[in-house]
Amino acid sequence: MSSKLEQLQALLAPVVTGLGYECWGIEFSAQGRHSLLRIYIDKEGGVLVDDCAIVSRQISGILDVEDPIASEYTLEVSSPGMERPLFTLEQFAAHAGEQVKIKLRSPFEGRRNFQGLLRGVEEQDVVVQVDDHEFLLPIDMIDKANIIPRFD
């Protein structure tokens, strides 16, 4: 995790939880002079548009005062949705048994993209079964991970 992302997590996660929501995760991508800050929130029973608006207003006020992002940026507050992104070992463990798509920051065993069955976690590794092969992917190498929704 980058130091900027850690700084934003430390600043914003307590605000989200203080409002009664779970801070599911934070994404920050610097894109030249214009960046994107996306905050995923969750709560029992699901997230409504009004929930996103409440959190967005509060977060905007904090960001205006603290000013942790030097360039222009867009703030998005969203529910994790059906293609729920996974950020922490606890989230990976809780969703064992689901199909996932994982993209790594750098190649591991010659590849960066993995799609398969999430088996769980072992210490600091995410265990994914792709076809007949199990991969132990270090959490620090994961750039992006999402659940693949099932429509049964």
Mean pLDDT score of the chain: 94
Parallel, antiparallel, or unpaired: how do β-strands 34-42 and 125-130 relate? unpaired
pLDDT at residue 32 is higher than 90:
no
pLDDT value at position 95?
97
**How far is residue 85's CA from residue 145's CA, in Å, rounded to a whole number?**
6
pTM for the model stands at 0.89
Encode pLDDT of 81-101 as tens digits: 999 999 999 999 999 999 999
- pLDDT tens digits for range 98-117: 999 999 999 998 999 999 99
Percent of the chain's residues with pLDDT above 90: 84
Write the class of the CATH domain 89-147. Answer: mainly beta
User: From the centroid of its chain, how far is CA 17?
Assistant: 16
Domain locations along the chain: 3-78, 89-147
pLDDT at 118 over 80: yes
Q: Residue 1: its pLDDT value, please? A: 58
- The pLDDT tens digits for 2-13 are 788 889 999 999
CA distance 109 to 88: 22
Question: 3-78 adopts what CATH topology?
Answer: GMP Synthetase; Chain A, domain 3 (3.30.300)
**Interhelix angle 49-66/3-18, nearest 10 degrees:** 130
